[in-house]
Amino acid sequence: MNQNEAMTRDHEILSVREDIVEQTTVQVCIEDTITITLNGIPVTTLKITPVDLESFAVGFLICEGLVSDPGCISAIDVRPTLISVTAEECTLEGSLPSLEIRSAGVGIGRRQELSSPALGDGFTVDKKILFEGTRQVHETATVWRSTGGTHCTILVDNRGHILSAAEDIGRHTSVDKAVGKALLSGIDPGHSFMVCTGRLPGDMVAKAYRAGIPIVVSNNAPFSSGISLAERMNMTLVGFARPPRMSIYTHPERILL
């Protein structure tokens, strides 16, 4: 594949390795939101890497059982946010609404255009506490250790105390549960940083924003959409937090380096 340019953009980060802090440029994944229609009927809207969209359309319709034979597809029209497929000779398996069952995120799209104000300054955390949080998330993830299949989210205060923790097959639902547990215990998530496993697209960052959490830390990669949202909402985004390293993508001023 020689399509890296269409799939990524550059972003300036602060790269931290123990006591060495350097500014550097990394590549981050970009996503598009597209809708696919079959014979004029909207089938789904999803986030996708914006390459190979014709192949995606063919594979999606076969793999979801919506078209029984690729030979039935008579036309594929790919536009930036819409793929229209014509396959009038083919039958659909089941009805369309059940397609809407999801395994993961709720998505961002229009809802990412949050009109609410950015989060305030004030909450800061020492680099050592933050690194300790990335160790704590693995200690907490007991089901992950026995299955390798879950994500884990913890909320940690700036003295390093875990306020809330949850494991779930979904990274999004692990965030929901950790935030819900804190709220049901009368704890304000706004006075914590969030450490989660898994990648950080905009919908993950939007969840933290709405819970008022100013710092989001992951052991994994953020996406372009997550970085943009964090920049705009005055949130600190840390990716690839794997002691002794981490990458600070936005608003490093909350981390005492």
251 makes contact with a second copy (CB under 8 A): no
The token duo for 247 is: 């990458």
184 makes contact with a second copy (CB under 8 A): yes
Nearest distance, CB of residue 49 and a second copy, angstroms? 4
Query: Distance (Å, rounded) from C-alpha 167 to C-alpha 164?
Result: 11
* Residue number, 114 or 126, with CB nearest to a second copy: 114
Query: Distance (Å, rounded) from C-alpha 36 to C-alpha 81?
Result: 9
Nearest distance, CB of residue 135 and a second copy, angstroms? 17
Total of chain residues touching a second copy, rule CB under 8 A = 84
CB 154 within 8 A of CB 178: yes
37 makes contact with a second copy (CB under 8 A): no
Q: For residues 72-131, which are near a second copy according to CB under 8 A?
A: 93-94, 98-111, 114
Give the residue, chosen from 156, 221, 235, 248, that forms a contact with a second copy under the rule CB under 8 A. Answer: 221
Give the residue, chosen from 60, 123, 131, 193, that forms a contact with a second copy under the rule CB under 8 A. Answer: 60
Q: Name the helix (H) or strand (E) containing 218.
A: strand 215-218
Label the pairing between strands 162-168 and 151-156.
Answer: antiparallel
Classify 99 as helix, strand or coil: helix
Query: Distance (Å, rounded) from C-alpha 23 to C-alpha 210?
Result: 29
147 makes contact with a second copy (CB under 8 A): yes
Give the residue, chosen from 41, 63, 82, 257, that forms a contact with a second copy under the rule CB under 8 A. Answer: 63
* Cβ within 8 Å of residue 68, ≥6 positions away: 90, 91, 93
* Residue number, 63 or 82, with CB nearest to a second copy: 63
* Residue number, 44 or 124, with CB nearest to a second copy: 44
**Which x/- pattern over 157-176 shows residues binding a second copy (rule: CB under 8 A)?**
--------xxxxxx--x-xx
Query: Distance (Å, rounded) from C-alpha 12 to C-alpha 70?
Result: 43
